[in-house]
Structure 1
């Protein structure tokens, strides 16, 4: 796995958590996220629900980093979801048991009955595409395409977006690519990629955003003490 300095991981944790939760309408500020994630101090203004969204994201993020060499399995995905949704969803770590929908989406998500088989096929297709990838751009395309498919299946009652974005981070890091951090300011553009199943457009966006992330990552590497 690529070298990930603690300073970079702390920076990535805050940005991933703040923006991913904000995309799902968490209203806490960036400074409040820093306070909770890095200083372990709970701001007085934040609600209990929004605190747990942020704190749980920290736990899921750390679980992924600690298990970055592990094979991606349905069980692993359940573990990530369970950490994300602890104290927030009684179905944490289990596929949905009732029909669900995405607000403002024009497409229907998978039914609870078909979700397990669709997720097995999703995982098989993802692994096949990554194995056949010949470049980092091919890998990014495979991961972006799989993310769109994951969100359209919407396998869990809640927490699908946060789970899916953390899985993208996991897959990119496993393939020696820095993570994709989608800023909350790009929420509508991101949702449009999902709505239109626009894997090519999403990939162009991701490649450009990842290129900026590479520069940030290199800056942290350059700041390390020279031996």
Structure 2
């Protein structure tokens, strides 16, 4: 397991929460996110729903950190979704019961009937690929490919993007790779990777950003060693 200093985790929590929620159109700013998550101060203009989106993400993020050494299972994925959608969706922690559509996407999502089997197959394929991976590059490729497949299945009524991005974090950390933070201003590029099933492009993008975040992670480690 990677050593995860508290300051690094706080930094990762704020950035993951802000950008992942902003990709889903949450309007709370980065500085407001810091106030809410690290100092428990809620700006007056923040809506109840947007506050719960951030607060739920904090709880789900901490659950991921606590579960790093656990194998990824459908049950764990349901738990993450349930935490993310608490007080927001009555179907939290359960696969979708009705058809859903990704706004602007050119592909159909899986039907409710086929979703459970597709997710079992998805998990089996993911685990097989990771077990056969010979390098961190192979790990990143496998996780990027699985993320695209997860989002195209779109197994939940709502919260699929946030759930999928936290699952990526779990998988990367479990395999000793620094997490990928997808920035909100790169939302269009990210959605194109999903829409076109561009695993190669997404993997290149992810690798570049993970390398940048690895430098950030090392800076936190260096500052810790100097204390």
- Which TM bucket (shorter chain)? over 0.9
The answer to whether the aligner puts 1:176 opposite 2:176 as a matched pair is yes
Please state how far the C-alpha of 1:155 moved relative to its aligned partner: 0.1
**Could you tell me which residue of structure 2 aligns to residue 153 of structure 1?**
153
1:225 deviates by 4.2
1:4 aligns with 4
Give 1:130 shift: 0.4
User: Which segments of structure 1 move beyond 4 Å, counting only runs of 4 or more?
Assistant: none
Whether 1:197 aligns to 2:189 is: no
Q: How does 1:30-179 map to 2 (within 5 A)?
A: 30-179=30-179
* TM-aligned CA deviation for residue 87 of structure 1: 0.3
Distance in structure 1 (CA, Å) of the matches to 2:82 and 2:40: 21
The residue matched to 1:38 in structure 2 has which SS? helix
TM-score, normalising length: structure 1:
0.99
Structure 2 unaligned blocks of 5 or more: none
Deviations 1:126-184 (A, max 9, x none): 00000111110110000000000000000000000000000000000000000000000
Deviations 1:18-56 (A, max 9, x none): 000000000110011111100011111100000000000
Residue 210 of structure 1: CA displacement?
A: 0.3
- Distance across 2 between alignment mates of 1:93 and 1:157: 10
CA shift at 1:67, angstroms? 1.1
RMSD: 0.7
Q: Which runs of 5+ in 1 are unaligned?
A: none
* Count of residue correspondences: 227
